Amino acid sequence: MGQRKQFASAKRWVIKIGSALLTNEGAGLNGEGIQHWVDQMVQLRREGVELVLVSSGAVAEGMSRLGWNSRPHELHKLQAAAAVGQMGLVQAYEAHFQKYNIHTAQVLLTHDDLSSRERYLNARSTLRTLLSYGVVPVINENDTVVIDEIRFGDNDTLAALVANLVEADNLIILTDQQGMFDKDPRSNPDAKLIAESSVTEDSLEAMASGGAGSLGRGGMLTKVRAARLAARSGASTVIASGRAEDVLLQIRQGQSIGTLLYAEKAPVTARKQWLAGHLQLRGKLVIDQGACQVLRKSGRSLLAVGVKAVEGHFVRGEVVACVDENGLEIARGLVNYNAKEIDIIKGQTSEKIYDLLGYVDEAELIHCDNLVLV
């Protein structure tokens, strides 16, 4: 129950809703269900929870609108269905949230957006800005332009990567199943629901059997793998039935609903370890004594005024080391500017960045959330 209470108290959630829930198994958009989930999300917002919604259903809704009974195999048909269906999906969310005077924003992502460090930072900045304005981002894969046969491979994976992107505390995957069972309940009447488990438990993948339905692309195995992806940045995951009464509010109240796959590490610790050990250094910033003290003692962001020299060739979003004037590494992190830009603005206050470059990406060279002491 302690893990449930910790999960319930988190402040930033990524919620993923699957195709079968959203489209009434192919019979058009589930307006009643969408209203039910939006009502709950509005209540969560009133309780101070920041929300990012990852929504499946574009291809399935497009199929319904176009009168197709089965999912096509041809890429151009899948892309056409996604383009048609995305219109209905976004309209539905916007209409329901507008009843509460809450704005939504459509964000379409591709795998390249999250594998490119520069575009990763751009997407991260946009989503954090939307959240700061109280907007609910509605995210889907940009199915109309991807060329890898419409697959991320699935919106479970996309939701996990978005959880990493926005540094979410929780990932909630709403599906048409009660949660994860120790064996496939569709063919094993004695299957037992797993109430909670560490996401690192070795037996999880073996227990996650069965495939996806005709509309969706992700079975239970993809959800386990998504939970492990989310845990890289410290997010825990609940897999639960979207058809359960007030499922999101029950999760918020710490009720034992669905399956909780909890991360072993706190979000800050996990992200810092990721930065420290899993990304290749692309350059160095030589910083003055004052900047060294600020980073060591207060954990604040690195500003241009504290930089004395730039070494290496790197672009926005790559990892650089922050070293003192004797070459001792103090910290490392993701830079908001490339090497040439930093060389121009080094030693200057943040207020002068626009005058020197003609634009401002961020006030900080490295934000404290993307910086780890070494």
In residues, how long is the chain?
374
Kindly report, residue by residue over 159-200, the tens digit of the pLDDT.
998 998 888 999 999 998 899 998 877 778 888 999 999 988
pLDDT band at 113 (very low <50, low <70, confident <90, very high): confident
Structure tokens at 333: 């992190």
pLDDT tens digits along 28-59: 788 899 999 999 999 999 999 999 999 988 88
Residue 277: is the preceding peptide bond cis (ω within 30°)? Answer: no
Assess contact for 51 and 136: CB atoms under 8 A: yes
Nearest Cα residue to 93 out of 45, 34, 26: 34
Q: Determine the pLDDT at residue 153.
A: 52
| Helix boundaries (H) for the chain | 2-8, 19-22, 31-46, 58-66, 75-98, 111-115, 117-132, 155-166, 204-207, 220-231, 247-252, 267-277, 289-298, 339-345, 353-357
- Count of Cβ atoms closer than 10 Å to residue 159 Cβ: 32
CA dist., res. 7 & res. 13, Å (int)? 10
Answer whether 197's CB lies under 8 Å from 256's CB.
no
Which tokens belong to 190? Answer: 């004695």
Confidence at residue 279, expressed as pLDDT on a 0 to 100 scale = 62
Q: Is the pLDDT score of 147 beyond 70? A: no
Q: How many CB atoms are closer than 10 A to CB 60?
A: 29
Pull the structure tokens for residue 163: 């959880």
Read off the pLDDT of residues 58-94 as tens digits, 9 standing for 90 and up: 888 888 889 888 888 888 888 898 889 889 999 999 9
Instruction: Say if residues 138 and 90 touch (Cβ distance below 8 Å).
Output: yes
| pTM assigned to the model | 0.77
Percent helix, percent strand, percent coil in the chain, to nearest 5: 45, 20, 40
Rounded to 5°, the CA angle 270-274-276 comes to: 115
Q: Tell me the C-alpha to C-alpha distance, in Å, between residue 296 and each of 180, 202, 323.
A: 44, 38, 12
Report the distance separating Cα 9 and Cα 309, nearest Å. Answer: 43
Asked if residues 29 and 137 have their Cβ atoms less than 8 Å apart, the reply is no
What domains can be seen in the chain, in order of their start residue? 2-271 (3.40.1160.10), 279-373 (2.30.130.10)
